[in-house]
Amino acid sequence: MRRNASPLSLVLLGAGVFLLVLAPLLVWYVQPHAKRTPIDTDTTTVFTGTGSYFDTGKVETVDDETITITRQVRGDVADSEKSGNAVWDVSTSVDHDATLPASDPRDALQWTLERWVTDRTTNEPVHCCEETPTFDGEAYLKFPFDVEKRAYRWWDSTLGGVVRLSFEGEKEIQGYAGYLFKGEVEPTRTGVRQVPGVLVDRKKTPQVLAEEWYSNSGIELVVDKRTGRIINAAIGPKKTLRAPGSKKDAVVLLESKRVEFTEATQKKQVELASADSDRLAMLGETAPMGAAGIGLVLTVVGAVLVVRGRREAPEASNTHMMTSTHT
């Protein structure tokens, strides 16, 4: 009589081997594919704060007003799939109470429409797909995956250039910890604008090309460590006009010491970051470690049962032969 390994031992051995093979696949193949910038994003972030703005009706700067910045980010799925990159259309409007709610963003104090294209894995800029403006840096609307404790080059659209943000430790937003980065922008000329000369103390000149200047007293970003999602942002922008060649601001167009994500925006960003981070952690750590541990146990148990079954088979056969001979 011949005895083979039991079905249970073969099932355990097969399951164990499968899990041992699955563990590295999750780390080396599945997780890297999951760690890519989404192309179907559709999010709105809102900043609020108190500041000053130039009232065109009164032809003067008014102070202590509520400033609201609304940013809508929508992924162009068709162009993203065609190019293999993340193509995002970004609408940003700056409003005061009188222009909210805005049925037309062109009624806002300031409105810009941009198209950002980035590599889905590295977050590096990709110059294609009707990108506008041409930008640089390594951090924009988000940071790269697996954020490091170092300085990053962050693109400031108003400046039209990159700003060095230094790592400043950790900070909790709505009970969720992220990495804190800070930076600032010294007064910088960003362009020119034709205005009445009287506006910039050139009363004898009907129209002048006034210089536009921009500064930012404090950029503060809190970033999710694993996904690079910005869970809170605060800025201190100032935009002014100067007479040509002047070193002194003549008109304040917009100024706020601090505009920051609203509480609702913070909570939404934390919710999204937490969910994405947990998913990546499961694919890159929890699931592989669990699969490897369980797979090892099942493989050992299955192998022991298979070996034991094979050892017992000859003994059973010899016993049967001895009994037959004695009979």
Tens-level pLDDT at each residue, the chain (327 residues) = 445 656 666 665 565 555 455 556 545 555 555 688 889 999 999 999 999 999 988 889 999 999 999 999 999 999 999 999 999 999 999 998 888 876 677 778 889 999 999 999 999 999 999 999 898 999 989 999 999 999 999 999 999 999 999 999 999 999 999 999 999 999 999 999 999 999 998 988 899 999 999 999 999 999 999 999 999 999 999 999 999 999 999 999 999 999 999 999 999 999 999 998 888 776 556 555 655 566 555 565 556 655 666 665 555 555 544 444 444
How much is the pLDDT for 325?
A: 47
In sequence order, the 6+-apart residues with CB closer than 8 A to the CB of 40 are 75, 77
Written as six digits, the tokens of 105 are 């963003």
Region label for 251, one of left (φ > 0), alpha (ψ between -120 and 50) or beta (otherwise): beta
How much is the pLDDT for 321?
A: 47
What span, in angstroms and rounded, lies between the C-alpha atoms of 51 and 259? 9
Strand partners, 153: 164
> What is the three-class DSSP state of 315?
helix
Strand partners, 42: 74
Domain boundaries, the chain: 39-282
How much is the pLDDT for 59?
A: 87
How much is the pLDDT for 317?
A: 52
Pairing of strands 42-55, 60-75: antiparallel
**The dihedral sign for the CA sequence 272, 273, 276, 278:** negative
**The dihedral sign for the CA sequence 158, 159, 162, 167:** negative
How much is the pLDDT for 204?
A: 87
